[in-house]
Amino acid sequence: MSDTRPRLARDGGTPVRSKMLPYARQSIDKDDVARVVAALESEWLTTGPEIGQFEREIAEVAGVGDAVAVSSGTAGLHTVMNAIGLVPGDEVIVPATTFVATANAVVHAGATPAFADVEPDTLLVDAKSVRARMSDRTKAIVAVDFAGQPCDYQSLRALAEERGLLLVADAAHSLGATSGHGPAAALPDAAVFSFHPVKHVTTAEGGAVATSNPSIASYARRFRNHGLDRDHARRSAEGSWRYSMVDLGLNYRLSDIQCALGRSQLRHLPRWLARRREIAQRYDEVLSGELPARPLAVRSGVEHAYHLYVIRLDLERLSEDRDAVFAALRAEGIGVNVHYAPAHLHPYYRREFGTSEGLCPVAETAERDLLSLPMFSAMSNQDVDDVVAALFKVLGALE
Residues forming the active site: 199
C-beta atoms surrounding 213 within 10 Å: 19
**Under a CB-based contact definition with an 8 Å cutoff, are residues 172 and 197 in contact?**
no
**Under a CB-based contact definition with an 8 Å cutoff, are residues 296 and 312 in contact?**
yes
**Under a CB-based contact definition with an 8 Å cutoff, are residues 17 and 394 in contact?**
no
Length of the chain: 399
Virtual CA dihedral for 372, 93, 298, 282, nearest 10 degrees?
Answer: -20
Beta bridge partners of 193: 208
Virtual CA dihedral for 198, 156, 55, 304, nearest 10 degrees?
Answer: 40
> Which are the contacts of 295, defined by CB distance < 8 A and separation ≥ 6?
280, 283, 284, 287, 309, 310, 311, 312
**Under a CB-based contact definition with an 8 Å cutoff, are residues 120 and 366 in contact?**
yes
**How far apart are alpha carbons 261 and 269 in whole angstroms?**
13
Beta bridge partners of 12: none
**How far apart are alpha carbons 209 and 105 in whole angstroms?**
14
Indicate the DSSP class of residue 12.
T
Virtual CA dihedral for 194, 150, 361, 158, nearest 10 degrees?
Answer: 120
What is the β-pairing status of strands 138-144 and 91-95? parallel
Indicate the DSSP class of residue 147.
G
What is the β-pairing status of strands 293-295 and 190-194? unpaired
- Of the candidates 97, 102, 51, the one whose C-alpha atom is nearest the C-alpha of residue 74 is 102
C-beta atoms surrounding 17 within 10 Å: 17
**How far apart are alpha carbons 385 and 201 in whole angstroms?**
24
